[in-house]
Chain A
């Protein structure tokens, strides 16, 4: 049962344009969502996150949007740069605040390629 899904295995974008990566989830208990970026043969690094009490969070070129009713989130990268080429993982946790550890459930990942 795939609770977090990234239905696009890959995305190709021209440098300077917008990259939009999508993620869907099925578990209504998820209340915190994160995006990780991963280069080959390296561990993922945290990119941006959003709590379920918000519908948008922005950090520089990266913006995450959350649509709770649709159980959908997206990551926008504007403008896209060749260095953004990597695998992007969407992740979700339930009851991530307080004393819990917020065990993460990951999507399958989307390979983003930004062409110069």
Chain B
């Protein structure tokens, strides 16, 4: 079955450590996105990529980094510079002219 896989589902890290969230898709979608969900703030765009080896900052990119070396993969690194990293992170993908996203099941990151 085609879809988007995010791993792990739950992640705990100590403050000051970098952590990388995985996102893999086998839908052959060109574009991939990372969103963050916080209570009462909806989904906010962190980074997106429309083609391999290219990506753009979203609305809240500070403290995050991404790479897009393969079409199928779009990992997100939460760096120690991110002031409030504890959140639910969602990865999504889409096709050109497509009108919607396919989302992964999310990763809950807790920084202690």
Contact = CB atoms under 8 A, between A and B. Distances in A.
Interface of A: 4, 6, 9, 32, 34, 36, 41-46, 49, 89, 93, 96-109
B103 A93 contact: no
Interface string B43-71: 11100101000000000000000000000
B96 A101 contact: yes
Give the secondary structure class of A's interface.
loop
Contacts of A108: 40-42
Given A41-B108, A43-B106, A101-B31, A109 B101 contact: no
B31 to A, nearest CB: 4
Given A43-B90, A108-B40, A102 B45 contact: no
B2 interface: no
B106 A41 contact: yes
Nearest to B44: A106
Contacts of B100: 34, 46, 49, 102, 104
| Residue of B4, B40, B48, B106 with most partner-chain A CB within 10 A | B106
Contacts of B45: 103, 105
